[in-house]
Amino acid sequence: MPKLIDCVAAVSFDLDGTIIDTAPDLGAAANMMLVMLGGRPLPDDRIPALVGAGIDEFVKRVLAQSGVTPDARLQETSATLFRDLYEQRVFRLSRIYPGVMMTLHTLRAAGLTLCCVTNKERKFAQPLLEIAGISGFFASVLCPERPEDRKPSPSLLYAACRQAEIEPLDMLLVGDSRADIEAAHAAGCRVVAVDYGYHRGQPLEELRPDAIVSNLKEIMELSVRPRSGTRALRAIP
């Protein structure tokens, strides 16, 4: 069976929970926010399950976990405060996951186009990749400009395919969450899930990714059954 990596022209990586463990800095900023609002900090191990649907939702979940049901005004004040705090600390405690650097080097050397496809706002994603020293690997970084473009919408993946000038079937997405797998399926891309990210206890097998790995470098060894029939030339809207 051919190797998966030989069947694609580009690889898109999810950011939080896939290439960088961002929960420590997200948690630090969230806890500073709670304390400044007069609340109590959350235990670190409660943070990862709250990540994945953008900052407004993360702040809403943090407030809910601390026992607050915010009205619209408190939600807005909290989200603004959180953004200010997080902006100052996107890569202080966060760490690149094992196997990521080697995988990015190997895939790039193999001639594949690499993209980052994240629900994180560009204002945080771009500096995070730069400070972490990995922004140079990515031909493009796709972030949602509108809430409706967030994964599980396929729109960021379509944009990545358009920029790489490839069809969705020639794109592999590597991600840690339900939103990643559903976005890839909706776009018609191949998808590999990592089992170490922020998938909130969701059994990833049920979502039927092409494969599940525990370290990114395993994607180099994965084999795939070629898709049968004519290649699905799905038009990118």
Ligand X SMILES: O=C(O)COP(=O)(O)O
Give contact residues for ligand X (rule: CB under 6 A): 14-17, 51-54, 58, 118-120, 151
Give the distance from CA 190 to its chain's centroid: 15
Is residue 21 among the annotated active site residues?
no
Residue 139 to residues 112, 165, 209, 230, Cα–Cα distance (Å): 10, 12, 24, 29
Residue 190 or 199 with smaller CB distance to ligand X? 199
**Binders in 174-193 for Mg ion, by CB under 5 A:** 176-177
Q: Which among 54-62, 155-163, 171-179, 187-195 is the span making contact with Mg ion, rule CB under 5 A? A: 171-179
39: left (phi over 0), alpha (psi -120 to 50) or beta: beta
Which residues in 129-170 belong to E strands, given as ranges? 140-142
Which partner from the list Mg ion, ligand X, none does 13 bind, CB cut-off 5 to 8 Å by kind? none
* Catalytic entry in 6, 14, 16, 210: 14
Residues between 6 and 35 with contacts to Mg ion, criterion CB under 5 A? 14, 16-17
CB atoms within 10 A of CB 33: 25
Sign of CA dihedral 75, 81, 84, 88: negative
Name which of ligand X, Mg ion, none residue 118 binds, using a CB cut-off of 5 to 8 Å depending on partner kind. Answer: ligand X
In the complex, the residues that contact Mg ion under the rule CB under 5 A are: 14, 16-17, 176-177
